[in-house]
Amino acid sequence: MPLIGVQLHTQDTHVMIDNGILQLTLSNPDGIVTGIRYNGIDNLLEVLNDEDNRGYWDLVWNSPGTLGTTGSFDVIKGTSFKVILENEDQVEVSFTRTWDSSQDGKLVPLNIDKRFIVLRGCSGFYTYAIYEHLKDWPGFNLAETRIAFKLRKDKFHYMAMADNRQRCMPLPDDRLSGRGQALAYPEAVLLVNPVEPDLKGEVDDKYQYSCDNKDSQVHGWICTTDQPAVGFWMVTPSNEFRSGGPVKQNLTSHVGPTTLAVFLSAHYTGEDLVPKFSAGEAWKKVFGPVFIYLNCTMDGDEPLSLWEDAKQQMIIEVQSWPYTFPASDDFPKSNQRGNVNGRLLVNDRYVSDDNIPANGAYIGLAPPGNVGSWQRECKDYQFWTKTDINGYFLINDIRPGDYNLYAWVPGFIGDYQYSAAITITPGSEIEVGDLVYEPPRNGPTLWEIGIPDRSAAEFYVPNPNPNYINKLFVNHPDRFRQYGLWERYAELYPNEDLVYTVGTSDYKKDWFFAQVTRKIDTNKYQGTTWQIRFKLDNVDQGSSYKLRVAIASATFSELQVRISDPKTNPLFSSGLMGRDNSIARHGIHGLYWLYNVDVPGKLLVQGDNTIFLTQPRSSSPFQGILYDYIRLEGPSKLSSKEEYMSSTL
């Protein structure tokens, strides 16, 4: 049976695109998705909502000089509709909103062009948007932008975002007063009288379903109330247009039922990932395209087969990137892009005398900046991959422009940056050859705590309070996603703080995953001081030792380091750092920090020593530090692993 050609039907207040598989209805000229008809269901979107609260692009912005991640929330509504391309194989339509000086202070100073594409024979549709700030326009801050879909709550009850993160979800009604009880912040609700009694006593919190960009390529919902079952999936085939790099976390799907594609947000990073545009700064960026994929079961198929099918479709979309069909010249096709390849090695003379292939390293191109600046970069494009077991890498389909090459290697601290800038031109094939990363290192490792992988997941994560539980994360690798774990610290250490003894303690059992405050009364908290106790057989008091402290996340906190005496002036203080809020949002990591503290040998003694780590800030239960890895290095007199090993025999 031949595929039906794509048809466009334009009315005064709506536009409908029909390819015989689905019918996509958009408001005219707003460009809000008001209806998606598929497989006999007249509308997959929530018909009880107003039309502008079903499928929409939105943003949050504020004026220059304004601190914070909140601001004016704007559901982006176009003021002009245009047909970009119309034939039997493809329809692409545009809804634009043009800024002028009469809107100063009322609307974000951006020209916004929202595009929607329907292809022949395609079970879904694509959407992307082009944001542009002209040079002579006023400045602004852009705290968030995304696309959101609100699905029908009477049909979509099962959510899936990973093989081990899927479940029947509560209803939005369960979060309302009388059925739900608000907890420490509005997003977290205890289900006290849910419609589905089996969910009673669980916590619903959208942050429990956050995901790293690198792992967030498909998520969505399954409708099991109709037969055949129907799936609604958000597929993000590339992260090039997302801010913050591969391990930046964003929201996905959550109770609503809601499905999101988040392009820019300050979650798990705070103010550092709010792009700030000044007057006189020209900027243009394409967000997307993303693919909204629809599927349905065949006779005899289980509803969960839709998740497996969605994953296969995601692979197809990833392999098709960059798409050939978007009509905008601002979206370069593959032959207009370039590639970079090479090999990354690690040189750590206390691990090996030879260079070590950087197995599984994250390596990527991001706009020019300082070492590690990619994780705070939030205006332009980034292109990342992972090295193979031998350290080789290939970064494909890079947009033309000027970049730095950045990397970090699990198992080693710090950040790598290639010394030369890289300019990508259409069709360029750049070979950088063998690159060598020398991670921070002064001397041999005397002891270490944790794994240098930019996460606190390897440390002790307690069981949740049984009164605040999400059954999905019981006996789950991501056990840190339970609500209220920060309160367990004071229960484990009601009077005295954590003490870790090198050689005896096990960081998997004895190092609490977050150095949080201790609650001492209603809305009263105190800072905490952790101890690391260790023995030294010999001390060179005339030399300097080095304490490396890698931090996976920090929230309005401070790290003070003292040696031997907890009451003396700190040897080191970080000052106020971090706005990640990863503790409250079950994130286990946020922005990465690395502190290198010189420890004079005269502060150490032969025999028993103690390092005190104090986090004194204490106005909130969510202030704290998630450590990644801690290491004490000896003096740097020995030049290689071989010399170090011979000197210890």
Q: What is the CATH number of the domain that holds 408?
A: 2.60.40.1120
For residue 267, give the amino acid letter. Answer: H
Query: Quick one: 545 and 400 in the same domain?
Result: no
Instruction: Tell which residue, 34, 28, 127, has the closest CA to residue 79.
Output: 28
For every residue of 391-455, DSSP letters joined together read SEEEEEEEPSEEEEEEEE-TTS-S-EE-SS-EEE-TT-EEEEEEEEE--S-SS-EEEEEE-SSS-
Domain interval for residue 497: 445-633
Q: What is the CATH number of the domain that holds 590?
A: 2.60.120.260
Number of domains in the chain: 3
Angle, alpha carbons 78-79-85 (nearest 5°):
70
User: Given a cut of 90, is residue 496 above it in pLDDT?
Assistant: yes
Mean pLDDT of 621-632: 97
Q: How many CA atoms lie within 13 A of 235 on its CB side?
A: 27
φ and ψ of 184, to 5 deg: -70, -20
> What's at 435, amino acid-wise?
L
pLDDT value at residue 645: 41
Q: Is the dihedral of CA 297, 301, 304, 307 positive or negative?
A: negative
pLDDT tens for 215-244 read 999 999 999 988 899 999 999 999 999 999
Mean pLDDT over 174-201 rounds to 94
292 located within any domain: yes
Across the range 572-587, mean pLDDT stands at 96
Average pLDDT for residues 179-198, to the nearest whole number?
95
Q: Which pLDDT band, with edges at 50, 70 and 90, does 648 fall under?
A: very low
609 and 467 part of one domain: yes
Confirm if 1 and 11 have CB atoms less than 8 A apart: no
Which residue shows structure tokens 């300050």?
A: 266
Encoding tokens for residue 585?
């949002």
Q: Are residues 432 and 534 in the same domain?
A: no
Q: Give the chain's mean pLDDT.
A: 95
Residues 480 and 414 in one domain: no
- Do 113 and 254 lie in one domain? The reply is yes
- Determine the Cα–Cα distance for residues 427 and 396; give it in Å rounded to an integer: 11
- pLDDT recorded at residue 226: 83
As a whole-number percent, the residues of the chain with pLDDT over 90 amount to 94
Neighbours of 276 (CB within 10 A): 16
Q: Is residue 649 part of a domain?
A: no
Structure tokens at 217: 């390529």
Per-residue pLDDT of 10-26, as tens digits, reads 999 999 999 999 999 99
Residues 458 and 547 placed together within one structural domain of the fold: yes
Q: Give pTM, 2 decimals.
A: 0.95
Indicate whether 595 and 516 sit together in one domain. yes
* Domain identity same for 429 and 461: no
Token pair, residue 444, equals 């041999």
Tens-digit pLDDT profile for residues 165-176: 999 999 999 999
Residue 647 lies in a domain: no
Average pLDDT over residues 450-474: 97
Distance (Å, whole) CA 590 – CA 602: 35
